[in-house]
Amino acid sequence: MHKIKDYRIIYIIMCLLIPTAASYLNPIISLYLSEVLHFTSQKIALTFIVTPVILVLVVFLCGKISDKGFSRRRIILISAIFGVITNFIFMSEPSELTLFLALVPCYALSQVAFSQIFASAREYSVQYMTSSLGFTTFLRSLASVAWVAGPPISYFLITNVSYDALFILCASVYSTAGITAITMLPEMKDIAKANSRSVEGIKIFNQNIITLFVSTVLMYTAFSSYLNTMPLYLIYELNLDKDVPGYMFSLSAFLEIPIMMLCIRFAKKAGLKKVIASGVICQLVYLTVLPHINTTVQILISSILPAMFIGTVSTMGMVLFQELLPKLPGQATSLFLNGCTSGIIIGGAVIGLSETGHYKVIYYLGSILTLIALALLYKVRKPEEIR
């Protein structure tokens, strides 16, 4: 029992460290590209297209080889190292060539750790705990805890200190995560070997999985195009204070935590699909009303709607993939994250629509895509049991 308790603590630490690093860096990338590298909207869109393309390939490859027995904690270590490298390249204010040839691949590789942590946690919880759903949801809520403090800290640093100070802080978090992973995470060798023997012949892509994947892509296309343009929209189009995006991201992350905890109870009673659908509906409402609100108070109050989307979909969506592919936790988690990432790719292209003169057209398009995603989600066959 002592070992199990120790491992739980390590998963908790890892699910705070990796999301914390992401919460420092991800919210300011579009602003960094605009203010420091002086990218146009089209170049920013291109960056958000190229990066996820590489990420999709890397995450899927890592998920496949890890399910066949390759050490997950080594993958997490390598990913963390690339996270450190990414921040140092950011500090150098790279040229366009360096950005696309070096920075983008390193950034994509730094994002692999997240899926591997949850795949490892899935294996651990199924083997040693009574509720995999409860443990996964708890760990996902910790990621939201990291996002409560992260964006305000990042915006404070870039506003009052410098971008370099933020990059140094982010690199130190990645370093700590890498060291923790390689020295303290359980290897789960027995489970990995058992899985590698039992997964032969399993068909990953069936109609159910493909429908869920496409639905995920569409809903995250809408979400990512909103998320990446929000700082620019609030600051440049609505002329709000530069700190407002950080407060908004932080408030949404704070609200996600109790939402995720409630999801455990509702998912077991009502089913995963209904819980996920409720979050998708919230995003549909949010993107529909967003172009019609323009004050700081209205923006902050409306933050509960994207919080509902993330609080339900980011956890329950991942669990739904895992329940549909119970013997392939790495590839199931990777499929969910690749669906999200594929949405980011398309969302990056959608950002280019801001060249029409305003960002509102992006949010109207997002509401249409979200509605289609909701219809596809309805067609997904729910798993018989939630573990």
282, two tokens? 């919230």
Residue with tokens 């590789």: 109
Q: Say if residue 2's pLDDT is above 50.
A: no
15-24, 64-73, 378-387 — which is least confidently predicted? 378-387
- Measured from the Cβ of residue 291, the count of other Cβ atoms closer than 10 Å reads 16
Task: Tell me the three-class secondary structure of 270-318, residue by residue.
Answer: HCHHHHHHHHHHHHHHHHHHHHHCCCHHHHHHCCHHHHHHHHHHHHHHH
Read off the pLDDT of each residue in 164-180 and give the average, rounded to a whole number. 94
DSSP 8-state secondary structure symbol assigned to residue 355: G
- Measured from the Cβ of residue 179, the count of other Cβ atoms closer than 10 Å reads 13
180-194, 230-244, 313-327 — which is least confidently predicted? 180-194
Q: Who wins on pLDDT, 133 or 372?
A: 372
Determine contact, residues 49/348, Cβ cutoff 8 Å. Answer: yes
337, two tokens? 């994250």
Q: Who wins on pLDDT, 222 or 136?
A: 222
Q: What is the mean pLDDT of the chain?
A: 81
Burial label, 130 (beta-carbon count in 10 A; 0-12, 13-18, 19+): exposed
- pLDDT for res 203: 60
The 10s digit of each residue's pLDDT in 144-166 is 777 777 888 888 898 889 999 99
- Please report, in angstroms and rounded to a whole number, the separation of the first and last CA atoms in the chain: 21
Please give the model's pTM, rounded to 2 decimal places.
0.70
- pLDDT for res 205: 67
- Measured from the Cβ of residue 110, the count of other Cβ atoms closer than 10 Å reads 27
pLDDT band at 189 (very low <50, low <70, confident <90, very high): low
